[in-house]
Structure 1
């Protein structure tokens, strides 16, 4: 069966540093008619489970530990038996939201296989310490979470974030990918590496 990428938008809130905001999140489902992985189980486990249907969920991968990206992960894991995977450096953020649940931890360059296709973990810190992107070269795609959006880098104005770090992550781990690589983001529209490179160049020129 041909592997495909499915897109679901779920809505809820994001809370950090004493504030709460309404947000719409992208949930990405990668796989075929038999097995899939979910990238960012946001807000609504039931809606994600309905989209998966009777396919086997092999992993729930979290691009980072903000509560809007991981809120539904334990419920989805309980319903499906799939493991929750998050980078070790975001373990503290995970515990802020789910103090009584233990995920499995990812490391840089780990390969996650679904439907005979590999997704490679790229550690891209800055938005959070353990932020990752998932590169699927066979699909010409990278899933960047909140590291890179259409128009520039993700936000770095809150706790655990750092602007120079996110610029270095984008420069060293993402802009090195082929320009026609499709960028599927954590919120909003998709883009390409080539389209976003000019937006980052001014920061790179400043020495970040």
Structure 2
């Protein structure tokens, strides 16, 4: 059976730099009826585990370590018996939410994660966070971008650990060269495509978005 993508939307708080915001997060489950990978364990471990529905989980992948993307990761790992994977450049952010509980493994640029006959290739895309990654799935024609690229522009860079020129470079060098029909599965909000976003890079730079 070929791999498919399922979305679970969970709600909670994003907190950083003394602020707190209500957010809805996209949690992505990629796989088939036997095994899956979970991308971003946000807010509600029980709801995510229910959506997994007893399938084997090969990994819980964190696109970055802002608390709204990782706050349910340890609880989900306990429920599912799966390792939590994070890029080491985001360990400082992770420790703000989970001090004393390290991730189980490290993501690295070019690492290939395999599930249900599909490869998810890790692209290190810093800017929104130092260890932000995207996961490109050529077999399903998708890229999971976390908070690096959204419909209408790049992720926010106005808080600690972020940098606007860096995220622009990451998007331009690592994402916009993907096939234009590639579907962008974002960390919040609606899908888009690489082809829809690529023409607007110069506009983002001009407005310092």
Please, what TM-score do these two structures have when normalized by structure 2? 0.96
Corresponding position of 2:102: 102
| Correspondence 1:8-157 to 2 at 5 A | 8-103=8-103, 104-157=105-158
Residue pair 2:153, 2:204 contacting (<8 A) in 1 also: no
Residue pair 2:45, 2:73 contacting (<8 A) in 1 also: yes
Secondary structure of 1:138's counterpart equals: coil
Output the aligned Cα RMSD.
1.1
Residue pair 1:124, 1:169 contacting (<8 A) in 2 also: yes
2: distance between equivalents of 1:121 and 1:64? 12
Residue 2 of structure 1, CA deviation: 2.1
Residue pair 1:35, 1:114 contacting (<8 A) in 2 also: yes
1: distance between equivalents of 2:124 and 2:149? 13
Secondary structure of 1:198's counterpart equals: helix
Residue pair 1:27, 1:42 contacting (<8 A) in 2 also: yes
Q: Count residues in correspondence.
A: 206
| Correspondence 1:154-169 to 2 at 5 A | 154-169=155-170
Gaps of 5+ in 1: none
1: distance between equivalents of 2:205 and 2:95? 34
| 1:4 counterpart = 2:11 | no
Residue 203 of structure 1, CA deviation: 4.5
Residue 167 of structure 1, CA deviation: 0.2
Residue pair 1:171, 1:204 contacting (<8 A) in 2 also: no
Gaps of 5+ in 2: none
1: distance between equivalents of 2:24 and 2:31? 23
Residue 51 of structure 1, CA deviation: 0.4
Secondary structure of 2:139's counterpart equals: helix
Please, what TM-score do these two structures have when normalized by structure 1? 0.97
